[in-house]
Amino acid sequence: MIITLKDGSKKEYSQPMAVIDIAADISEGLARVATAGEVNGETVDLRTVLDQDCTLSILTFEDPEGAGAFRHTTSHIMAQAIKRLYPQVKLAIGPSIADGFYYDVDSDTPLTAEDLEKIEKEMKKIVKEALPITRFTKPRDEAIAYFKEKNEPYKVELIEDLPEGEEISFYQQGEFVDLCAGPHLMSTKPVKAFKLTSLAGAYWRGSEKNKMLTRIYGTSFAKKADLEAYLTRLEEAKKRDHRKLGKQLGLFMMREEGPGFPFFLPKGMVLKNTLLDYWREIHRKAGYVEISTPIMLSRHLWETSGHWDHYKENMYTTVIDDVDFAIKPMNCPGGILVYQSEPRSYRDLPLRMGELGLVHRHEKSGQLHGLMRVRCFTQDDAHIFMMPEQIRDEIKGVAKLIDEVYQLFGFKYHVELSTRPEDSMGSDEDWEMATEALRGALDDLGLPYVVNEGDGAFYGPKIDFHLEDSIGRTWQCGTIQLDFQLPLRFNCEYIGADGEKHRPIMIHRVAFGSIERFIGILIEHFAGAFPTWLAPVQAKVLPISDKHMEYAKKVEAALAQAGIRCETDSRAEKIGYKIREARLEKVPYMLVVGAKEEEEGLVSVRSRFAGDEGQRKLSEFITDIKEEISSRRIRETVTEEEK
C-alpha cells in the first residue's frame, strides 16, 4: 500500500495502518499534535485503518478540521463532567463550531453561571485523568436499547432517524459513552486550554415546536496563550457591541412592536445617508444607472424566478384581489423587468443597473441579532446585463469597486469562490462556463482565493468577499454572482451585431451587502469612533460659560455654512464635563471657546486623534476639516493614556 503525503512524498507499507500510526512513523512529534486525518480529501478519525493506496494529510489544530476534532473532543469532556455532576441531565448534541463548541442538554433544574465554574473544574479533572478515547459500533437495535436503558431519549431519537443499515458509532472515555460519528483525539490529555463562555436556550433540532434545551457554549485551544488571546478579543468585542453603542450614540433602536425591523434615529440616518451618498458617487463613476423597483410583486414573478419554489419559507406573502403576492426578499426579478421594459441592443451592453432596494426575509426570532441579522434591510444591489465576451472585464470591474470600498474603511479581506450546490437550476455546461468565468477573472486580477465547494446560489456560482475587522473577526459582505439561469427563465434578449436575438448573461452583486449589517460592522470596527467624514456629528462647539454662547453660535453657524455637521453644547455645565461627554459621544473634534477665542476669532481644538491640538483660526480649522472630509481620510483614534 502506497500512502501519498501532503508534500508529495510517499510511504509504503506492507500491512494496514491506522492514521495515528502513520503519523508516528513520520514523526513522534507529529503524532503528539495530530488531531485527525484527511484521506482522499475526507476528514477521518486518527483510529481509521488504511488498507489501500490513498492520499493522506495529518491534521493538527492549525487546520480547521483539526481544530474541529480538538473542540469536538472538548464538548465530550464537558458532557462527561455534566453527567458526573448532574446525573439526571439528558444529553442532546454537542458539535464543534467556529471558534468553539457547544452541547445542548435537558435539565429539570436550570443551569447557571455558577454551574459553569463547577463543570470547568470537573473537566480539568477529566483532562488530568488522561482517559484514552476509544471507538466502537453497535447494531441499530442494540444502540437504541443501550440509550433507552441510560434514559437518554434524545440519543434514541437521533438513532431512530438514521437510515436502516447505517453504522452506529460510539466513543468512550472512562465511564462516559456518547453516540458520535467523530473524529476525536486519542485521549483527553491534550485538552488543557478551555473555557465555558455562556449559556443560551435552544429548541431541540431548531424547531419551535420542540422543547427548549440549555445550550452551553465553550471554546478550547491547543495553547493557553491562544485561549487567553481569544478571551481578550471576546472582551474587546463586548465593548464594541453595536447594539450597546447604537443605543449610546443614538443611532438606531429595536422595539418589540417590530422584532427584527430596525428603527434608525436622526444620527443613524445621517450615518446611513452618508454611506448611501458615497455608494451613489462611486457607482456614477463606474458607469451605473440607478433604478427603484416595487417592494411587493405577484406570485407569478416569483414562480418564474424560482424563488417561490426555492425560497418561499423565507418570504412574506399576502393576497391582493384574490392573487398571491410576495414582499420581495431580493431585488433581481424587479431588475429584470426593468431590463425588459424596452428592446435592447448589443450597443447597450454592458448595462449596469444599481438599486438600493428594501428587502424582507423571514428570519427565526432566535437568529435575530441587532443590525447583523434583521428581517428587513437595504441591499446595495446591482445587476449587470452583458454579452459572453464581456464577462471577465465586468467581473474584474466589480471586484475593483468592492476593493475600493473595503480599502476606504481599512478592511483586509479574503475571497472565496463558491461552486454549484445540490439544489440548483441549469445545465452542467452553463455551470461550468459560469464557474470558469469567475475563476478566470480572479486569476487575471491576481486575487488569491479558496474554493468553497457546493455553496453557490441555486442559479449560479459566486465570489464572496470576507472582510476582517479591527479585532480580527471576519464578515461576509460583498458578493459577485454570475447567473445564466434568470435571463433564460425570463426570456431576456438583446439584438446582436448580426441582427439576431441573443440571451444576455447577468451578474448579481453587492458591495456593502446589507446597509444595516454593514453599519453594524462599522460601529464595531471603529468602536463607534467613526472617521470624520462618516461621523454623524463632526465637530462640537463647547462654550466655557454662558457669556460665550453668542460666539459659540457664530462658530456653529460658520461650520454649518461650510457643510460641517456640528452642534453646540449649551448646557450650564463645567467645561471638563462637556469635554468628557463629547468624548463619550465619539465626536471627532471639540472646539472650546472662551474670552480669548472670542476676542481673536480663534477656537481651541481638541480631537479624538491627538488630544489638545492648540488654538487655531476658525477659518484654518474649517479649511483643514473640509479637506479631511472630502478626502475621506482616516485619522487614528488614540487613548487618553497615549495622548
Catalytic residues: 332, 361, 379, 381, 383, 462, 508
- The three state secondary structure string of 259-306 is CCCCEECHHHHHHHHHHHHHHHHHHHHCCCEECCCCCEEEHHHHHHHC
One-letter identity of residue 189: K
Residue type, position 408, single letter: L
b/e code 134-156 from CB counts within 10 Å (16+ = b): ebeebebeebbebbeeeebebbb
Tally of helices (H runs) and strands (E runs) in the chain:
20, 35
Rg (alpha carbons) of the chain, rounded to whole number? 30
Strand runs (DSSP E) across 74-180, as ranges?
Answer: 90-91, 96-97, 100-106, 133-138, 168-173, 176-179
Strand partners, 187: 132
By the 10 Å C-beta count (0-12 exposed, 13-18 middle, 19+ buried), 407 is classed as: exposed
Report which residue type is found at 349.
L
- CB-CB contact of 283 with 382 (8 Å): yes
Q: Single out the residue of 352, 350, 347 nearest to residue 285, CA to CA.
A: 352
Q: Cα–Cα distance between 300 and 476 in angstroms, integer?
A: 31
The CA angle 413-275-479, to the nearest 5 degrees, is 40
Contact between 41 and 47 under an 8 Å Cβ cutoff? The reply is: no
Residue with cell 438599486: 355
**Selection from 585, 637, 607 nearest residue 249 by Cα:** 585
Placement of cell 464578515 in the chain: 475
Q: What SS3 class is residue 60?
A: coil
Distance between CA atoms of 230 and 582, rounded to whole angstroms? 31
Residue identified by cell 476593493 is: 403
Q: How far apart are CA 61 and CA 71, in angstroms?
A: 9
**Interatomic CA distance for residues 171 and 138, integer angstroms:** 11
The C-alpha atoms of residue 599 and residue 591 are separated, in whole angstroms, by: 15
Is the separation of the CB atoms in 480 and 510 below 8 Å?
no
Question: Phi/psi of residue 612, each to 5°?
Answer: -75, 115
